[in-house]
Structure formats: C-alpha cells, structure tokens
Amino acid sequence: MRAVDLIQKKRNGGTLSYDEIAYLINGYCKGDIPDYQMSAWAMAVYFQGMNKKETADLTMAMAHSGDTVDLSPIRGMKADKHSTGGVGDKTTLIVAPLVAAIGIPVAKMSGKGLGHTGGTIDKLEAIPGLRTELARDDFFEQVNEIGIAVVGQSGNLTPADKKLYALRDVTATVESIPLIASSVMSKKIAAGADAIVLDVKTGSGAFMKSLEDSETLAKAMVDIGTEVGRKTAAVISDMDQPLGFAIGNALEVQEAIATLRGEGPEDLEQLCLTLAAHMAVLTGRTETTEEAEELLREALRSGAASAKFRAFAAAQGGDPNVIDNPELLPQAEDTIEVLAAEDGWVAAIQAEQLGLAAMKLGAGRAAKDDPIDYAVGITLRKKVGDQVRSGETLAVLHVRRGAVGLEAIAEETREAYSIGSRQPVPRPLLLSIVTAEGSVRLS
C-alpha cells in the first residue's frame, strides 16, 4: 500500500477500507507517513467527506492507536460525558456528582484547558489539595466505593488523534464532520465508558455555527458510538453566550457548588439536568428522562448531590470544607468593574472573546505548558436579554493586583457585549436531542 494512492483515492471521491485507513493512521503515528501526506489526506476528507463506515473505521483505528481503558473492574454501567467545547462550561463538575448521587458510576478522564476554553482538570485543581492523578487500581476502587472519580488523561490514550488534531489545527482541516466526530469518539471509546452523552454546542462560539450542521455532527457521533456497542446520545445547546455567570477556575467551582445545592443559574442547571437525565436513560437507571429529572431534582433538593461532590473532593485529597465555605477557594487580590457605555439591552455576548479575556488574566493557557492562576477570571453581571443603563456593571474582572494589560482586557470584555436598542427575543438554550432513534427538535 502507498499513502499517495490512498490520498488520490479519497481526493477522487473513493471509499477507503478499514485496512487502508488503519495503514494511514498507524503509519502516521509511527512517523512512516509524513505530515505533508497526512495533511493532503485530511484536506481530501474535508472536501470529499467519509461515509458512516469509513468514519467508524477511522474512529476505531485512532481508538486503538494507544492504550485503551478497561473499566470492567467497576460494577455497573459506567457513564461518561463530553462537551465539544465551551466558555464557562463547568457542567462536568455538576453532572458527574449529580448522576453519581442517583447511583450511576462515573469513572471519568478529563483534560486541561487550552486557549479560550477551560478544562475540567484545571477547575478541579483549584480546590486546595485535590489530586487528579490516581493509580489505576485506586481509581477503580474509588468509583466502586463512592461512585465517582475524575482524573487527568494518563498513559498513552489515542496518540493518533493527538498528532492528527495538532496537524488539522494548522492545515485548516478542523471543521470537517467526519474528522471531528472520529476525533471525539476515539477518545471516548478508548476511555471505556458504556454510555456516552455528548454536549454539542452550536452558535457563534462553537465549531458548528448552524443547528443543521450541529445535528449532522451529533448524528455522526451517535452513529459511531451505537455501531461499536456504546449507548450514545447528544444534547445540542446554544453557545451564543457563556454558560452561567462565572469564567475562571475557582469562580466556576464556586458556581458549580451553588448549582449542586440547587442555587445555581437557571441555564446551567437546565443543561446539567438534561445531560444527566440522558445518562440515566442510557445506563438503564431510569426508563424515561422525565423520571430521571425527578430523581435528579430530588438529589439537588435533598443535598445528596452536594454531599457526593464533598465525598469525591475528599477522596482525591481536596479540602471538603470548600463546599460550605467557598471563600476557602483561591481568591483574586482585586476586582475591576466593566461598565456599560450605553443604555439598551444585551443582544449577544461573544463567548470566545470573554474566554480569551479570562485567559489573558491568567485563568487559561496560551501555550500548553503555561502556568495558570486559579483565582482570576470574570463574573458576568448581565446576560443576553438583560436591560442595562450606561455606567451599570456588565461584568467584574477578578485580577492580580498590578497585572499588566488590565485596561485592555476590561475594554475587550466590554466589547464582547453587543448592546441593542430593543429587547431581544429570548432564545432557548436546549435545541435538539439526537439518539440512536433519530433527532428531536426542542423548539
């Protein structure tokens, strides 16, 4: 087999077999196929697409390019979730203990943040003492004992995806549905869960800008999961503004704790309940999402969900007192209020711009090995649909005293807000649910 023939076949609209796809992926991983040939192939896929079987074959070739996790030492149907990326997206911190509180085991691997999006591992590490590295047996034992463990990705999981994703990033081949679907699903399949719920974002701050494209992506991922025997569903939600009010590691932990106590922002609670309800149905914990939502709301009301978060934090060495005393979380030295320059209504908030502003404050990384400051970030005082008067606070920056560039960051935050002269028509958060049976529009 020669890479050039496979590139040509795809360029001309042909269909690749599993052996051909595996030849490319394994060859690229080993360094036998150079970046320039893999780039040409990725561009051919970008233009010609892949059918269902090719996409599943690519997923499995990447899933088996490194270690795979066998979760069978953990009792029961294990659930996982994945978000296609968001700003202020602290859903894992809420959904994982919430489903664990109703008896669904969560053995989860999460990532660190890069660029404008945050990572669950960074958020968890904002809790004083909390470790996100556990030996494999301790990881299994913790899930069997308290129902939940969340750790950083360890070992050599999906090296082919890591290499190919980095290449796609610099060759304008990220926005391809089969390439995104196989990239996400290879990681989820290698991580071993039986049931996978995908939190797919749509809108200006997401990979897929239209609902139709987001549904196509969601369907591609659900098809892959279903084809390889994992129960899979996707919830498509609007990403035209950050989720909740907090952006930044400790600030998001604080908001997640409030949500687990039933005192969180409505949008965040609604999305978390929906994701968790689908995890309950896919794992067979409940028959319907309505039944699941009742149990989950009761877990929020009764304190079972926040108690699960406390047990989880303590088991991984974190200070469990942060649940009752959030001031024990890292606190920024100073705050700066970002004021509205005009009267009107908030029409839109550029989530990506706010994510970048938070990163510049020190909450995220511009490069992979940059250090981060857990305390800094942004809290929104106004969200889409709110009325504002000139001089009123739009958002608060939580900053390091004397940090450079604060004025410019405050200006970028102000500019992330679009203020209109009329009250905007409210947009629903939840737009569509995609399961193996098909998709259902929610509005």
Residue numbers at the binding site for ligand URA (CB under 6 A): 84, 165, 174, 179-180, 183-184
Minimum CB separation from ligand URA for residue 165, in Å?
6
Minimum CB separation from ligand URA for residue 343, in Å?
39
User: Is 168 in the active site?
Assistant: yes
User: Is 82 in the active site?
Assistant: yes
Pair of tokens at residue 291 = 């039944």
**Do 423 and 385 contact (CB within 8 A), yes or no?**
yes
Minimum CB separation from ligand URA for residue 119, in Å?
12
Closest by CA position to 112, among listed 352, 356, 371, 399: 371
User: Is 240 in the active site?
Assistant: no
Minimum CB separation from ligand URA for residue 164, in Å?
8
**Do 429 and 383 contact (CB within 8 A), yes or no?**
no
Pair of tokens at residue 208 = 């897929």
Instruction: Closer to ligand URA by CB, 180 or 233: give it.
Output: 180
**Do 147 and 100 contact (CB within 8 A), yes or no?**
yes
Instruction: Closer to ligand URA by CB, 123 or 187: give it.
Output: 187
User: Is 183 in the active site?
Assistant: yes
Query: Out of 81, 82, 90, 382, which one is annotated catalytic?
Result: 82
With CB atoms as reference, the residue minimizing the distance to ligand URA is 183
* Nearest-5° Cα angle at 169, 167 to 173: 85
Minimum CB separation from ligand URA for residue 338, in Å?
30
Instruction: Closer to ligand URA by CB, 218 or 380: give it.
Output: 218
- What whole-number distance in Å separates Cα of residue 262 and Cα of residue 239? 23
Instruction: Closer to ligand URA by CB, 62 or 250: give it.
Output: 62
Instruction: Closer to ligand URA by CB, 184 or 268: give it.
Output: 184
User: Is 414 in the active site?
Assistant: no
Query: Out of 183, 186, 237, 306, which one is annotated catalytic?
Result: 183
Closest by CA position to 157, among listed 42, 278, 65, 281: 65
Query: Out of 57, 80, 89, 161, which one is annotated catalytic?
Result: 161
Please give the span between the terminal C-alpha atoms of the chain, in angstroms, as a whole number: 49
- What whole-number distance in Å separates Cα of residue 182 and Cα of residue 187? 9
Query: Out of 10, 162, 187, 188, which one is annotated catalytic?
Result: 187
CA 207 to centroid of chain Cα atoms: 12
Residue positions annotated with a catalytic role: 82, 161, 168, 183, 187
